[in-house]
Amino acid sequence: MAKLKTKFACTECGNESPKWMGKCPGCGQWNTMVEEKETVVKTQGMGSTLIQTKEKPRPIIHIESGQEKRIETSNQELNRVLGGGVVPGSLILVGGDPGIGKSTLLLQTSHALASKKLKVLYISGEESVRQTRLRADRLGALSDTLYVLCETNMEQINGAIESVNPDFLVIDSIQTVYDPQVQSAPGSVSQVRECTAHFMRVAKIKGIATVLVGHVTKEGAIAGPRMLEHMVDCVLYFEGERHHTYRLLRAVKNRFGSTNEIGIFEMVEEGLREVNNPSELFLSERPMGVSGSTVVASMEGTRPVLVEMQALVATTNFPSPRRMATGIDHNRMTLIVAVLEKRMGMFLQTQDAYLNVAGGIRLDEPAVDLAAAVSIASSFRDAPTRPFDVFFGEIGLTGEVRAVSRAEQRVKEAQKLGFKRVIMPKKSLKGWTPPKGIEIIGVETVAEALSAAFG
């Protein structure tokens, strides 16, 4: 028999220790070390026939090159985030808060692929097959090539994979699956790591596109060891407020595409529906003629998105004023406030400043600096900007407005939504012809931008 020993593993980073410690030495988190039993000598693992390969090392110049063939789903938002579709043999990890819509999205995707006569195997460890059928009835996701199984034992799952031989496999969720050969509870660090490694080998050798659903911690990160995200090919986060209807699908890792793309969905009674024009969504509740509100033209990957940016500047009663930012980097906001104080002479040292990006989206590119500066100045002066103006541009420490990429796409998106003026960096006007019907104002400094906005 194999000898058992006890170890303690961190549920956040997977760091192991022979004794319990209050603080993990790997990630510095408190009270994350849990006890696990580990076998010193492990017998040959189950499903060994699935992971054996006779392939030999070859020179890289002798390996066939070419574009990876993808399986396109009927969901264009999901295709965009994945980089054009699902790659056969890829391992995808989907995380999100409970009840956000992960199972709904994957069941709709499974039905779309099954409608193309592909074999889909949906393994549910949290719902019975009857519960899955009830959800499929509500979503209209019924197909004779969509197979459903309620199972958590890895050996039984291997048997189902052998019998069905699917083209697309869904494991919902990885925290419920356990390997009988690993002496620890389901959802532990060892179980999650071993089961994920096994599914990775199955996906690569058999060419099965596999999706793993992962639980998230209260901080919003995917539960389990951090190496889980390094083992998979693509990591997707499903974000949004449970009490609102809109959801954002964001890629934080993608070996087959860009990580800058986002997909936007609306949760309706029939399931998740694509939002083809997110700019209208983010501007639907924008107030007109109110100080502190501007519209910024941002880029999410290859897609231009117009978003409302709001600022509130109010007198503080404390010696140190507050600086709070939601949807934009806090340090970037502090830099913009400093530029307005030094270069524009605005006395903001006795003012609290709050900046918010409406709609719950996060803007990480520096092209939103100009809109943030105009919003803060508008609230400080209590002077609203024109309701049909759009701003974008990067601000330097000397007060200059620097050029940004994809200016033409931003301007065309603003024109499509009926905006009249675009205030942007002057150097970004080179190399393209502005469209007719919209006024373009090129500026070189923050002073010129504020003069054009409030002139």
Binding residue per annotation — 366?
no
Ligand-binding site membership of 99 (annotated): yes
Size of the chain, expressed as the number of residues it contains:
455
Please report where in the chains the tokens 């220790």 appear, as a residue. 17
Tell me what the mean pLDDT of segment 135-164 comes to. Answer: 94
| Cβ atoms 274, 328 nearer than 8 A | no
Query: For residues 120 and 86, is the Cβ–Cβ distance under 8 A?
Result: no
Beta carbons within 8 Å of 44's beta carbon, 6+ residues apart: none
**Is 97 labelled as part of a ligand binding site?**
yes
| pTM for this predicted structure | 0.76
> Which tokens hold the place of 272?
């998740």
293-303 confidence digits (pLDDT tens): 999 999 987 88
The confidence score (pLDDT) of residue 184 equals 78
Contact (Cβ atoms closer than 8 angstroms) between residue 344 and residue 454: no
Model pLDDT, residue 46:
46
Question: From the CB of residue 226, how many other CB atoms can be counted at a distance below 10 Å?
Answer: 15
**pLDDT of res. 441:** 96
pLDDT per residue as tens digits for the range 73-120:
989 999 999 998 999 999 999 998 888 899 999 999 999 999 999 999
State pLDDT tens for residues 34-85: 887 765 444 444 444 444 556 788 898 888 776 678 899 989 999 999 998 9
Cα angle, residue 231 at apex, residues 226 and 236 outer, rounded to 5°: 75
* 102 labeled part of a ligand binding site: yes
Question: Superfamily assignment of 72-276 in CATH?
Answer: P-loop containing nucleotide triphosphate hydrolases (3.40.50.300)
Strand order in the sheet with 146-150: 146-150, 120-124, 168-172, 209-214, 91-96, 234-239, 246-254, 262-268, 271-274
253 is in an annotated binding site: no
Is 360 annotated to bind ligand?
no
Q: Does domain 281-454 have CATH number 3.40.50.300?
A: no
Whether residue 440 is annotated as binding a ligand: the answer is: no
Q: What is the pLDDT of residue 218?
A: 65
